[in-house]
Amino acid sequence: MKNRNTRKRVSPLRESTYGQSKSNWHATKRILLISLLLLSVLGGIGYWTSHAVHEAIVNVYSTNLQTILDADIEALEIWVKNEIDYAKVHANDPSVSTEVEELIAIHRKYPGQVEKLLSSSNLSIIQQKALPLQVDKDYMGFVVIDRSGYIVASNIADPLIGMSLSFELENFLKRIFAGEAILGNPHLQGEYVPGLDIVANNPVMITTAPIRNKEGNVIAALGLILNPDKDFTRILSVARMGDSGDTYAFDKEGFLISDSRFEDQLKEIGLLQDIPDARSILAIEIRDPGGDMTRGYRPKIPLSERPLTRMAASAVNGQSGVDSRGYRDYRGVTVIGAWRWLPEYGFGVATEIRKSDAFAGHRPVKLAFIGIFSILFIGCLWFLYSSVSIHRLRNKIEKIKQLGQYKLLKKIGEGGMGKVYEAQHALLKRPTAVKFLKPEAMSEEAIQRFEREVQLTSNLTHPNTIQIYDYGKTEDGIFYYAMEFLNGIDLAQLLEIEGKVPLERVIFILKHVCLSLEEAHSIGLIHRDIKPMNIMLCDRGGRHDAVKVLDFGLAKEINTPKELSLTTQQGIIGTPAYIAPERLSEGEETDIRSDFYSLGSVAYNLITGEDVFMAPTSVEVCYHVMKTVPPRLSEKVHYDIPASFDQLIADCLEKEAINRPPDAATIIAILESLETQYTWDQEKAHNWWQTNIDRINALRPTGS
């Protein structure tokens, strides 16, 4: 009989299976916990990265917007001061005061008899004095107004003389008769200056200064009428961020007082009348339409009832600020911007850029963040694969020892687009320099520029121009070309050694650069990137200081239409200190004289050891290049500069291209005439190279 109290035993197999299942469950649990932990960590890293990138972009754009705004306002303040000072100079002319006093006396003696003023010799004298205003400063004209608001003199139109001013302008002139000089905001012609024989929708600005008699009392106001297109709006258009950035000025009522860069778009969306002469200045109110009109939104609220944009509302209340969160502009486009109200001038300035463009770099981070959680495994694998591939691609070029028929020896230079190696032809054993595009820089535009540099430079045969030997593409798709190997230093390195270069050596260098440019110009090429780094002094065939002009990568054919010339996505390319003013101006064509401006800047740099314009930012340098007349060389050095050389460099640095030397031959002739007195021969060159050989070798790349 069985014992009912006998305990039922579990088989060893079932016990093992149970234990294994339990173990598997714990393992699965661990994997799940690890996965959840990994997801949490990745999620935290993703969120932190996304937030950090967003904040970094916000900080960068906030800083850039503020920098552009500060540079524009500083440029405007300089311009306003110059205009006011110019008006004061003429208003304080004693002879002007005397003639104006006589005209006022005639008006008082013969009230209402305008013909007495028109026939007065005093009016003729004042009008003759006004001629330099139009010739030198391109003013539209002037008016003289007595304390009663009566126009006693003008050179614009006779019907103006004898007219009385409107109440609005009379209030404006109260400040003038109190002794203050003012530059008024832009206004459409006819509002303040009726009778102007000019298109009605063209704006004008008036610089007004008090005219005083001998006793120092204000007897009248001198108003100089100028076109804001000439400087006011151009200053605001110089610095714009990207393709969607705009900088503009606006008044207390929220009207634009400078032109918008979006005028064609404003006509399309109905904010601006679609006629040929329509302009945005004083026609566009900075009001929030409530939605993006460029994407089809049409507001139902009348324009007059719409609120000012958040930026404009803040500014007209006297506030300044930066908004990186985004707000709608007068087109309804969401933008980020910086602004400042200028109470002393009665207007504000804002610089803005489309928010989606500013934060375009943040969008991939968000997509990657979402992708990690939606397809974590595939995303991780793809990220790993992409990282390894990119890493291999970037490092692959460093491991290449044979490029076509050329054996690479060592790296001797590197730029943003490519690298240059010292190499040797496999059969000829000839020293060669090989330049090729970096894999990460191989965009369609970069390849076009690379091929263009080869094609253009290969057509040049002058001894002072670097020679091209070969061009090709490896099996891996790497573009390269071979050129003569130059054993020497560039002019920037020369300045590191010398600090300043003797006049006779500068004359020698400039002459040979011009010989290279003369050939390029003769076949229709403009170099467009003449600067110290692109000019080398070499030891060639036992001859020292052989001059070589490099890098025709930015060269442009003279007859090539502007829209076909190569530029970067950021706009103009080149080094700001050496770019000709016309290349910084939208819509202006360049010719060979742009190279002569750069040549003058190089000469200035060599003689003085400084750039023509020294400024902390590129924006400020560009402003000075366009607006500031540089001091002559003779004012910058402590020795006598030949008058012809001093004038030559001043001519090369002229703002208007037409005032520069017409061709390289003209410059060469002047330099050759100076060489008889200022001679740089082989003996001097040999001694210099022998003396400085250690410093020269220290500047040369050691290779990699």
| Residue environment code for 4-29, b if the CB has 16+ CB neighbours within 10 A, otherwise e | eeeeeeeeeeeeeeeeeeeeeeeeee
**HEC readout, 143-159:** EEEECCCEEEEECCCHH
Average pLDDT rounded to a whole number, residues 419-436: 85
Q: Which of 33-47, 358-372, 558-572 has the lowest mean pLDDT?
A: 558-572
The answer to whether 237 touches 252, Cβ cutoff 8 Å, is: no
> What's the CA gap between 303 and 306, in Å, rounded?
5
Asked whether the predicted pLDDT for residue 562 surpasses 50, the reply is no
- Higher-pLDDT residue of 239 and 507 is 507
- Span(s) in the chain for CATH 1.10.510.10: 488-699
Asked whether the predicted pLDDT for residue 223 surpasses 50, the reply is yes
CA dihedral 586, 285, 68, 320 (to 10 degrees): 170
Average pLDDT rounded to a whole number, residues 607-615: 92
Asked whether the predicted pLDDT for residue 677 surpasses 50, the reply is yes
Q: Which CATH number fits domain 31-62+240-374: 1.20.120.420, 3.30.450.20, 3.30.70.360, 2.30.30.90?
A: 3.30.450.20
Residue 526's pLDDT is 87
Q: Calculate the CA 450 to chain-centre distance.
A: 24
Average pLDDT rounded to a whole number, residues 9-14: 40
- Higher-pLDDT residue of 166 and 387 is 166
Strand ordering across the sheet containing 402-403: 402-403, 406-414, 418-425, 431-437, 479-484, 468-473
Q: Which of 30-39, 66-75, 271-280, 386-395 has the lowest mean pLDDT?
A: 386-395
Asked whether the predicted pLDDT for residue 88 surpasses 80, the reply is yes
Average pLDDT rounded to a whole number, residues 357-372: 63
- Higher-pLDDT residue of 166 and 86 is 86
DSSP state letter for 34: H
- Higher-pLDDT residue of 28 and 546 is 546
pLDDT bracket for residue 229 (50, 70, 90): confident
Asked whether the predicted pLDDT for residue 12 surpasses 70, the reply is no
The answer to whether 141 touches 151, Cβ cutoff 8 Å, is: no
Q: What does the mean pLDDT of the chain come to?
A: 80
Sign of CA dihedral 659, 663, 668, 670: negative
Asked whether the predicted pLDDT for residue 138 surpasses 50, the reply is yes
**Total Cβ atoms within 10 A of residue 499:** 9
- Cβ-count burial of 608 within 10 angstroms (0-12 exposed, 13-18 middle, 19+ buried)? middle
- Span(s) in the chain for CATH 3.30.450.20: 31-62+240-374, 92-226
pLDDT bracket for residue 224 (50, 70, 90): confident
Counting residues of the chain whose pLDDT is more than 70, the rounded percentage is 76
Residue 400's pLDDT is 54
Fold of 394-483: Phosphorylase Kinase; domain 1 (3.30.200)
Asked whether the predicted pLDDT for residue 373 surpasses 70, the reply is no
Distances (CA, A) of 306 to 254, 262, 286, 313, 325: 11, 20, 9, 12, 21
Of 517, 518, 519, 541, the C-alpha closest to 529 is 517
- Higher-pLDDT residue of 357 and 662 is 662
Residue 9's pLDDT is 42
Catalytic annotation, residues: 529
The answer to whether 243 touches 567, Cβ cutoff 8 Å, is: no
Residue 30's pLDDT is 60
Residue 681's pLDDT is 92
pLDDT tens digits for 499-550? 999 999 999 999 999 999 999 999 888 888 899 999 999 988 788 899 999 8
Query: Quick one: 92-226 is in which CATH superfamily?
Result: PAS domain (3.30.450.20)
Asked whether the predicted pLDDT for residue 452 surpasses 50, the reply is yes
Asked whether the predicted pLDDT for residue 273 surpasses 80, the reply is yes
Helix axes 491-498, 593-608, angle to 10 degrees: 20
Average pLDDT rounded to a whole number, residues 150-177: 75
Asked whether the predicted pLDDT for residue 555 surpasses 70, the reply is no
Residue 619's pLDDT is 87
pLDDT bracket for residue 32 (50, 70, 90): low
Q: What are phi and psi of 206, to 5 degrees?
A: -125, 120
Residue 1's pLDDT is 44
- For 488-699, which CATH class? mainly alpha
Asked whether the predicted pLDDT for residue 353 surpasses 60, the reply is yes
Average pLDDT rounded to a whole number, residues 96-103: 90
Asked whether the predicted pLDDT for residue 621 surpasses 50, the reply is yes
- Higher-pLDDT residue of 424 and 6 is 424
Q: What are phi and psi of 427, to 5 degrees?
A: -100, -45
**Total Cβ atoms within 10 A of residue 311:** 27
